[in-house]
Amino acid sequence: MWRKAEQKILQIKKAAGVEIIFLEGDKYYININQTISRNNAIINEKEIHSLERIEQIEGQIAKDIPLSIVLNGKGILLKKIVGPASNGLLQSVIPNANPDDFYYDLLEGENNNFIGIARRETINSIITELKQMGYKIISVSLGLSVLPNILPFIKQGMKNELESDSLLIQIDNNEITSFSVKDRVNNNKYQPREYLVANQYVKPANILSFAAAAGLFADDIRSANPMNAALLNEERKEYRSYRLFRFAVIGFLTSLFALLLINFFIYNHYFIKNRDLQTSSTFLSEQNQSFQQLSKDVKRKEKFLNQVGWTSMSRTSFYADRIAGLAPPELMFTNLQIYPARSNFLSDAAGNIFKKDTIALNGICGNPVDLSLFVNNLKILADFKTVTIKSYQYRSEIESGSFQMELITQ
């Protein structure tokens, strides 16, 4: 299960094929194809032709796109092998050759085999130079060994003979039968002729670079390169580690972002809830303070009413009837006050401006004896605790006097 998951992680979705043709005098002819795999189809994104120096590749392709290199031209020996391949294949082509000095790339067919041979230092120098530029080299092939990657997808009628900038290749029944090396490299980018590979049109100059790029989409980079070049295998291992590390980092960052996003939503939910609760708490606190103040005001007013006796049932009419019933005919009342106001607010009853259980009675009486009799009669009643004459002023010229009385009720 892990191997399937690892293969999916390592699956290359974008690649570039680079054909480097060696010319006389340490010169190069370079063609590039940048491709992308999308919806099980290979799309040719970019074609570049006729570069003459390795360093010109820089800037043409992004550094994070893996490269598949095809080498042709001077210094690359291509040969058709008659019969099955054997262990001493290199020595059969180059007698007395030291295997440590050469790399070879074998293309095996049902009826025909082809081999490409190059010096190790030549291939290693190309890999090293591209690596120093920051590129990741995943595959290196020699000659025409990359063509089987696209042969089944080339439209019938177009593949009896394929032409690149340096080779003419004969095809029969989806198999390479022979090839020939051109006397001179010619760039075919201006030729109207194009090959239809699946649903992509490819110019002859880019047929090998396109095939090299297409091969990376099916390449298992966990395995060694067919040439078994140590430097290249190290590059493949580094790229594998890079992809796994990149996947792990992206996965970790995605998980971290998802966790932070979930935390944000949870925090935002409780933040809004807390804000609403704080607003509600502030409102309730203000309401509670208002209620407490109102309660104090009500209690204060209730206390006042209790102090002045206004909360009990009024007996004003009763007292008035009792007083009037005992009054002699010669006595006339001018004023009767229930709970009269105090005249001195600095008394011990400060805070209570009315005299509780008190009746103030003013009137006129010409005979003091009648007034005294009236007072005595009131004192006899159980409804009055005390009956006091506060003042009596008799005026002889009118034969009458005014009085002030204070009655304290039970």
In this structure, which long-range contacts are made by residues 368-372, counting pairs with CB atoms below 8 Å and at least 24 apart in sequence?
A: 368/392, 368/394, 368/401, 370/328, 370/330, 370/331, 371/331, 371/403
pLDDT at 188: 56
Percent of the chain at pLDDT above 70?
93
Encoded tokens for 402: 């005014």
pLDDT at 272: 94
pLDDT at 133: 94
- Which 3-state string (H, E, C) describes the chain? CHHHHHHHHHCCCEEEEEEEEEECCCEEEEEEEEEEEECCEEEEEEEEEEECCHHHHECCECCCCCEEEEEEECCCEEEEECCCCCCCHHHHHCCCCCHHHEEEEEEECCCCEEEEEEEHHHHHHHHHHHHHCCCCEEEEEECCCCHHHCHHHECCCCCCEEECCCEEEEEECCEEEEEEECCCCCCCCCCCCCEEECCEEECHHHHHHHHHHHHHHCCCCCCCCCCCCHHHHHHHHHHHHHHHHHHHHHHHHHHHHHHHHHHHHHHHHHHHHHHHHHHHHHHHHHHHHHHHHHHHHHHHHHHHHHHHCCCCCCCHHHHHHHHHHHCCCCEEEEEEEECCECCCCCCCCCCCCECCCEEEEEEEECCHHHHHHHHHHHHHCCCEEEEEEEEEEEECCCCEEEEEEEEEEC
Closest CA to 166 of 64, 76, 253: 76
CA distance 281 to 95: 96
pLDDT at 147: 92
Q: Is the pTM of this model over 0.85?
A: no
**Fold held by 316-409:** Alpha-Beta Plaits (3.30.70)
- Using 50 as the pLDDT threshold, list the residues of the chain that sit under it: 348-350
The domain segmentation of the chain, as residue ranges, is: 2-251, 316-409
